[in-house]
Amino acid sequence: MKRRKIIIYFFILAGLAVATGCADNFLELTNQNELTADNFYTKIENFDLSLNATYDAVKNLDLFGQTFYVQTLLALPHESDYWNAQNRNEVTSIDGNVYIAWRGFFRIVARANDIIGNAPAYEASGKATPDQLAQLNKIVGQAHFLRGLAYFHMVRLWGEESYAADSSRLAVPLILKVAKTRDELMIPRASVGKVYTQIIKDFEAAESLVPEGWDANNIARVTKFAVEGYLGQVYLYMENYQKSKQYFDQVFASNKYALVPFERYDDLFQGKNEFSRESLFELNYTIDMQQNIWENGLGSGIALVLAPPGRGWSNCTPHGVNIFRFHNDPRLKICTYAPDDLAADETGAITPVGKSQFNYTGHSFRKYVPKDYCVLTTNRNSGTNYLLMRLADVYLMYAEVMNKLGNDAQASEYMNKVRRRAYGFSPEASEPAVDYVGLGGTQLRDSIREERFRELFGEGHRWYDIVRWKIVEQEVTKYNTLNKTQGVIVYNAKDYYYPIPLQEVDNNTKMVPSTGY
Give the DSSP per-residue string, 305-333: HHPPTTSS----EE-HHHHHHTTT-TTHH
DSSP state string for 257-287: --PPPHHHHGGGGTTSSTT-TTEEEEE----
For 174-228, how does the pLDDT look when each residue is reduced to its tens digit (9 = 90+)? 999 999 899 899 999 999 999 999 999 999 999 999 999 999 999 999 999 999 9
Q: Are 355 and 307 in contact (CB under 8 A)?
A: no
DSSP state string for 136-186: HHHHHHHHHHHHHHHHHHHHHHH-SS-HHHHTTSEEEE---S---SSGGG-
Residue 453 forms part of a structural domain: no
d(CA 244, CA 235): 5
Residue 328 forms part of a structural domain: yes
Average pLDDT, the chain: 93
d(CA 262, CA 259): 9
For 422-453, how does the pLDDT look when each residue is reduced to its tens digit (9 = 90+)? 999 999 999 999 999 999 999 999 999 999 99
Task: Give bridge partners of residue 350 from the DSSP assignment.
Answer: 344
For 9-64, how does the pLDDT look when each residue is reduced to its tens digit (9 = 90+)? 333 333 333 333 333 443 444 555 566 767 899 999 999 999 999 999 999 999 99
Residue 325 structural domain: 293-384
d(CA 162, CA 171): 10
Residue 363 forms part of a structural domain: yes
> Which residue spans within 380-453 are E strands per DSSP?
386-390
Q: Is the pLDDT of residue 7 over 90?
A: no
Q: Is the pLDDT of residue 286 over 60?
A: yes
Provide the greatest CA pair distance for the chain.
86
* Backbone torsions φ then ψ of 174, nearest 5 degrees: -95, 105
For the residues 356-374, what does the mean pLDDT come to? 97
Residue % of the chain over a pLDDT of 70:
93
In angstroms, what is the C-alpha Rg of the chain? 23
Residue 372 forms part of a structural domain: yes
Q: Are 251 and 278 in contact (CB under 8 A)?
A: no
Q: Are 337 and 350 in contact (CB under 8 A)?
A: no
d(CA 57, CA 54): 5
The H or E element spanning position 364 is strand 364-365
For the residues 314-321, what does the mean pLDDT come to? 96
DSSP state string for 360-404: TT--EE-TTS-SSS-GGGTTT-B---EEEEEHHHHHHHHHHHHHH
Q: Please report, to the nearest 10 degrees, the dihedral formed by the alpha carbons of residues 191, 196, 201, 206 taken in order.
A: 140
The H or E element spanning position 82 is none
Residue 108 forms part of a structural domain: no
- Which letter, b or e, does each residue of 123-135 get, where b requires 16 or more Cβ atoms within 10 Å of its Cβ? eeeeebeeebeeb
d(CA 233, CA 418): 18
For 391-402, how does the pLDDT look when each residue is reduced to its tens digit (9 = 90+)? 999 999 999 999
Residue 154 forms part of a structural domain: no
d(CA 143, CA 161): 27
Q: Is the pLDDT of residue 3 over 60?
A: no
DSSP state string for 18-53: -----TT-------TT---HHHHTTSHHHHHHHHHH
pLDDT of residue 5: 39
Residue 145 forms part of a structural domain: no
Residue type, 393: D
Q: Are 336 and 363 in contact (CB under 8 A)?
A: yes
Q: Are 150 and 230 in contact (CB under 8 A)?
A: no
pLDDT of residue 31: 57
Residue type, 265: Y
For the residues 388-415, what does the mean pLDDT come to? 98
CB atoms near residue 244 (< 10 Å) = 25
Q: Is the pLDDT of residue 1 over 50?
A: no
Residue 331 forms part of a structural domain: yes
pLDDT of residue 19: 32
d(CA 235, CA 246): 10
- Which letter, b or e, does each residue of 79-103 get, where b requires 16 or more Cβ atoms within 10 Å of its Cβ? bbbbebbbbbbbbebebebbbbbbe
Residue % of the chain over a pLDDT of 90:
89
Residue 53 contacts by C-beta under 8 Å, 6 or more apart in sequence? 8, 9, 11, 111
CB atoms near residue 487 (< 10 Å) = 13
Helices (H) and strands (E) in the chain, counts: 20, 10
- Which letter, b or e, does each residue of 437-460 get, where b requires 16 or more Cβ atoms within 10 Å of its Cβ? eebeeeebbebbbebbbbbbbbbb
pLDDT of residue 37: 64
d(CA 130, CA 132): 5
d(CA 367, CA 229): 23
Q: How many domains does the chain have?
A: 1
Which whole-number Å values give the CA distances from 315 to 289, 305, 414, in the listed order?
A: 24, 7, 36
Q: Is the pLDDT of residue 506 over 70?
A: yes
For the residues 229-238, what does the mean pLDDT come to? 99
Q: What angle do CA 438, 464, 329 make, to 5 degrees?
A: 45
For 154-183, how does the pLDDT look when each residue is reduced to its tens digit (9 = 90+)? 999 999 999 999 999 999 999 999 998 998
d(CA 488, CA 261): 41
Nearest Cα neighbor of 332 from 363, 356, 368 is 363
